[in-house]
Amino acid sequence: MSTAALLLTIAGAVVVLFLLIMQLKLHAFVALLLTSILTAVIVGIPLHEIIDTVEEGMGGVLGFVAIIVGLGAMFGQVLRATGAAEKIADTLVEAFGEKRLPWSLGATGLILAIPVFFDVLLVMLMPLVFSLVRKAQTTLVVLALPLLAGISAGHSLVPPTPGPVAAAGVLGADLGWVIALGLAASVPAVILGGVFYGKFISRYVTVGVPEDLDQDDEDEDGPESDSTPSFPLILTILAIPLALILGNTASEALLDEDHMVTQVLALVGDPIVALIIAVLLAFYVLGARRGLGREDLQKVASSALTPVGLILLVTGAGGVFGQVLEDSGVGEALEETVGGLGVPVIVLAFLTAALLRIALGSGTVATVTAAAIIAPLLEGGEHTAGMVAAVVVAIGAGATVLSHVNDSGFWLVNRYLGLNEKQTLMTWTAMQTILGVTAFGTVWAISLVV
């Protein structure tokens, strides 16, 4: 198959994927698998090898991603069940003061979104925002948008959330680098998209707390501990896995590979081991020592894993699509085509993810699919670990922009803020776009020196 024919086939496969998800409303998991198999047939992969390709693509991604996402979900659920997440929010708000509430809420969202899923945080923290709106006698948008920006940035750009973890797995990126660059890109993005834009757009979208949600949404599904842990203790437990992962990355860059510190950090600083340590610490320090029995902790762990199954299936199916693309030889075709255009791979990564996000709605699906498309361009190239991680963050930034009516997050925000569709576009959609563009600009600038 010629280069032009191969690229047209892949483009057609992406269009078919759009139609299956958007027009036929086929589930993303089934749509990705079906599109992958049809593409494999068309590009000439031997029929008896297609199922092997499917299994290899699914297993290759989930072998790493499933463990990370599962452990991250457990960790986040412990924070939620023990009141640790609320403690972080309350402490940050108190530290920043009432006049700087948007800044404190942006920081709260960013920190908590690293271990806790987007929709869980939104439901959990909106009652706090409602009470702050009444206390400060301000409009809902000026406080809600910074929180949403922080949650969205943490969810889209910083592991161990599913999107960046999946993209890192597909591209073979160092997770320590992804965490560092994801955080660096998130800060200015949250400030511009959440704090500054939230203050600006609140002049035109003046809404108060929705009457039907003006109550405390207490979590009645899980056990609660006898006492809320202290903020320094929570922060320490949050910092331990991040410090171990970043320490591993730093030791590889600064020390010889035979050095004792490098070898030790290679084990305990591996993302899987680091998160196991964090989960065990959270179970004991936040749970067992504060009144949660073994059965309670078992319930917390089980409830954490329930919502991640669907995410893992979609992520794995995206890996299948990526494996088909790799086996088809599209990498060489893309290198030949894009190389002549002179477009940097990081820009192409952002634009690819943005187009997929706009068309498909799901940021996770857009992230995984974009990573699969971009991965062949990085193979064989002399890219530094920092550059590969920057591409991962650029994909996450692209998968954030222009959330609209085909995105479940759009409707979740629409409901919780009591907005109409036009107001949601003016607030949430615009904020997401500013967030993604700012994050991309930041990580692109950083990539020039790493």
Q: Give 376's pLDDT tier (boundaries 50, 70, 90).
A: confident
pLDDT, average across residues 369-374: 85
Q: What is the pLDDT of residue 224?
A: 55
The proportion of the chain whose per-residue pLDDT surpasses 90, expressed as a percent, equals 20
Instruction: Indicate whether 362 pLDDT > 90.
Output: no
Q: Residues 295-344: pLDDT tens digits?
A: 878 887 787 777 677 767 877 787 787 788 777 776 566 556 655 566 78
Number of domains in the chain: 1
pLDDT, average across residues 139-163: 89
Separation between Cα atoms, residue 300 and residue 399, nearest integer Å: 30
pLDDT, average across residues 178-194: 94
pTM beyond 0.85:
no
Q: Residues 281-290: pLDDT tens digits?
A: 888 888 777 6
Instruction: Indicate whether 150 pLDDT > 90.
Output: yes
Instruction: Indicate whether 227 pLDDT > 80.
Output: no
Instruction: Indicate whether 220 pLDDT > 60.
Output: no
Q: What is the pLDDT of residue 123?
A: 64
Q: Residues 394-418: pLDDT tens digits?
A: 999 999 998 876 676 777 788 778 8
**Cβ–Cβ < 8 Å for 106, 150:** yes
Structure-token pair, residue 166: 């999946």
Instruction: Indicate whether 436 pLDDT > 70.
Output: yes
Minimum mean pLDDT among 130-134, 332-336, 346-350: which range? Answer: 332-336
Instruction: Indicate whether 91 pLDDT > 60.
Output: yes
**Between residues 315 and 235, the one the model is more confident about:** 235
Q: What is the pLDDT of residue 192?
A: 96
Q: What is the pLDDT of residue 211?
A: 65
- Domain range enclosing 55: 3-447
Q: Name the maximum alpha-carbon separation found in the chain.
A: 67
Q: Give 388's pLDDT tier (boundaries 50, 70, 90).
A: very high
Q: Which of 370, 369, 434 is nearest to 401 (CA)?
A: 434
Of 40-44, 162-166, 231-235, 395-399, which one has max mean pLDDT? 395-399
Q: Give 218's pLDDT tier (boundaries 50, 70, 90).
A: very low
Q: What is the mean pLDDT of the chain?
A: 81
Structure-token pair, residue 68: 């990370």
